[in-house]
Structure 1
Amino acid sequence: MADTLRLNPNVAELPPYNAGMNIAVARSKSGLSEIAALASNENPYGCSPNVSAALAELNPSRYADPACVILRDALSKKLDVSGDRIVVGNGSEEMIAAVCRAVLRPFSTVATITPGFGLHEIEPRANGAKVVKIPMTKDLRFDLEAIAIALRKKPSIFFTSSPSNPVGTALDQDQLSRLITAVPKETLLVFDEAYFEFCDEQTPDGLKALADSAISYVVLRTFSKAYGLAGLRVGYAVASDERLAQAISSAKTPFNVNAAAQLAAVAALNDETWMSVSVASVIAERNRIAGKIASLGLFIPESQTNFLFIDVGCDSSIAFDHFLSHGVIVKPWKEPAFASFIRVTVGLPVENDRFLEALRLLKAKLAEAKVAS
């Protein structure tokens, strides 16, 4: 019988991944046809027209290149990094899983930040590791002193995203230098830069900063956000050396990045201008709506991403239902200490205005309830 089957306890006890609601499901639940999907940090402007042209040449009857040679060559030229240090994945999420498989052993320790990206906890735990979470400061900044203390215990891996997902804040040059200095030789630093393209000019390039260091590292980046390829799933890892890259490559599945995704990623890289223009539009909207949110008296950390992390003053699940009833999908944050926060993606101006109006109504509703009580 099924209940007598012995399951892997590491997997059976994993927390669920907090994914954004699908638009079709949102329409069904809300009864509304117009939905602003602002939960999954997609690029609201889509992808470069070059991508559609490239996909027209796709032959789906042939296997994709398992080594992603053309895409790795293109990334090598863009990043000025040897292609032998680049591993391409089915989204950077697959690279997180592959890193864990390549490095961790049962009962290893992994350190990460809270609030943080769920897979920085889920994948290590799936591999039998203990995960230690390092809280950010009360104003949701990186706590470098606490990080340094945790790193003195020499965890096998330290995961951090900069800019932070879900907070949006990024390490500055001094903080990144302090972090690199604190990483022991026994620890692999996994530096997740999924939102790198949305950073301002003062934010350091993690890949360049780490290039001159003596530590072991993996830098993660993706085509899902700025390049608008979320539906095709393409991410990549840049390892500190070829031996580490080979271990990560061995830990992934063969043919892991499909042919359409590889074609699309190369085409997107060949149209950096389109990406830069769309990112600039997103940043302008981010700054506009951040100002509106702050004017409502709500706590909102500074963001270097295409999303905002907002303390809405009530349980995030209640807030989620409120926004859905107004045709807006947001992401309610589930980590216990941050249950009053939501994460909202910067969308098109009309979508952002819909969100702001729903937020205003939520704040008014909460104020009325407080008076009534």
Structure 2
Amino acid sequence: MNHPASDNAPHGLRFNPHVAALPPYNAGMNVEVARALSGQHDIARLASNENPEGCSPAVMKALASAAYEPWRYADPACTALRAALAHKLACDAQQVVVGNGSEEMIAAIARALLTPGATALTVVPSFGLHEIEPLAAGAEVVKVAMTPELGFDLEGLECALARGPQVAFLSSPWNPVGPALDHAALQRVIAAVRPGTLLVLDEAYFEFADPGAPNGIEVLRASGVAHVVLRTFSKAYGLAGLRVGYAVCSHPEIARVLTAAKTPFNVNAAAQAAALAALADEAWMHASMGRLRSERERVATGLRALGLRVAPSQTNFLFFDAGQSSADVADTLLRQHGIIVKAWREPGYERFIRATIGSPAENDRLMAALAQIRQSARVSA
């Protein structure tokens, strides 16, 4: 099919219209840009949900080891890492696909299952790539909005799943809002999945959930529905800069096709070595998660004391109604206080901010700045 040239395409080029029309991904601001805009050197980076405690010392030791040879190609099959994950998750290594972050797995799923005219389902507010990657494949994206109580609309999801989308992307814990599906809610979603739909449960924030929260891999394994569970080393394990995530598939054939849909040598040698070291020191990760959960509750209590409406969270961030334009609040936080947060841009949610749980000092700085902003707004009113 021939498509007309884009109005902005140079030299008579014809861009893929599905890609040319994609919305930009709402990425967190780079720290050097933040320093230039604010004039401050000490920046609190609370926009990208990184682990403020860093990563296990074992990771740094592995990266400094003579066994890491950056002049050699990495194992394209991620054999050792897939074996370690399979052992940890009690599954077959043939069901595991490792990606350049779980974002690459989202793109591979869209590429492998979606064609022009297909339908993908997600929620809103959404993780941007759950919409962007299906749109790039030419698919229609159907979105189910959160409830007025800032939670999952289970009835809406059941109705949308009954229509048989080719792929359903669902985050639990939910980025950017924060809550997680409990056991009963997850079973309702599973029961609504029809043959021909791939359920993609994005558990990028799984490790931050309170003890007793559903383990999607275990629950879905017994469900009989076609599924992929996504997880990442970027958040809890502190490897955001190395980009390594993975997909656990219900059937080896799904894994085979996802592997075909990604690039070879997609996960570099440093990322593979770091991920293996992180898995070998999960005690560090679990201790870090305990501290961050406690800090999350402290900050949520503090924000509510300021009169802010805060969504329940099982993640390392909080999603709250700023009471005014989130873009204006985020700009003030940056320029006057040196704090980066993420102002939400999706239509209908322009008053919401997503703020990462940082160090206790960074969190105190955020709460004090928000108190000052709210006081100034009351005086102006």
| TM-score, shorter chain, exceeding 0.5 | yes
Residue 345 of structure 1 corresponds to 356
From 28, 33, 42, the equivalent of 2:41 is 33
Letter in 1 for 2:317: F
Work out the CA distance in 2 between the residues paired with 1:74 and 1:190: 22
Residue 6 of structure 2 corresponds to none
Counterpart secondary structure, 1:337? coil
Work out the CA distance in 2 between the residues paired with 1:341 and 1:361: 18
Work out the CA distance in 2 between the residues paired with 1:357 and 1:10: 44
Residue 256 of structure 2 corresponds to 246
Work out the CA distance in 1 between the residues paired with 2:330 and 2:306: 18
Residue 301 of structure 1 corresponds to 311
Q: C-alpha displacement at 1:123, in angstroms?
A: 0.2
Letter in 1 for 2:72: R
2:15 is the alignment partner of 1:4: no
Q: C-alpha displacement at 1:182, in angstroms?
A: 0.2
From 48, 60, 68, the equivalent of 2:56 is 48
Letter in 1 for 2:345: K
Work out the CA distance in 1 between the residues paired with 2:183 and 2:321: 27
Residue 201 of structure 2 corresponds to 191
Work out the CA distance in 1 between the residues paired with 2:148 and 2:379: 28
From 111, 119, 129, the equivalent of 1:109 is 119
Letter in 2 for 1:226: A
Residue 18 of structure 1 corresponds to 26
Q: C-alpha displacement at 1:369, in angstroms?
A: 2.1
Work out the CA distance in 2 between the residues paired with 1:271 and 1:159: 30
Work out the CA distance in 2 between the residues paired with 1:73 and 1:278: 25
TM superposition score normalised by structure 2: 0.96
Q: C-alpha displacement at 1:3, in angstroms?
A: 4.9
1:31-66: per-residue Cα shift (whole Å, max 9, x none)?
Answer: 001100000000000000001111112111100000
Counterpart secondary structure, 2:310? coil
Q: C-alpha displacement at 1:202, in angstroms?
A: 2.7
Residue 81 of structure 1 corresponds to 91
Structure 2 unaligned segments of length 5 or more: list them: 1-8
From 281, 301, 315, the equivalent of 1:291 is 301
Residue 228 of structure 2 corresponds to 218
Equivalent pairs counted in the alignment come to: 370
From 270, 273, 278, the equivalent of 2:280 is 270
Work out the CA distance in 1 between the residues paired with 2:117 and 2:376: 48
Work out the CA distance in 1 between the residues paired with 2:63 and 2:53: 18
* 8 Å CA contact 1:172, 1:202 repeated in 2: no
Structure 1 unaligned segments of length 5 or more: list them: none
1:245-297: per-residue Cα shift (whole Å, max 9, x none)?
Answer: 00000000000000000000000000000001111111111111110001111
Identity %: 57
Letter in 2 for 1:61: W
Work out the CA distance in 1 between the residues paired with 2:11 and 2:60: 48
Residue 230 of structure 1 corresponds to 240
Letter in 2 for 1:129: A
2:144 is the alignment partner of 1:134: yes
Work out the CA distance in 2 between the residues paired with 1:256 and 1:368: 54
Counterpart secondary structure, 1:106? coil
From 334, 340, 360, the equivalent of 1:324 is 334
* 8 Å CA contact 1:191, 1:217 repeated in 2: yes
Mapping of residues 63-82 of structure 1, within 5 Å: 63-82=73-92
Q: C-alpha displacement at 1:336, in angstroms?
A: 1.1
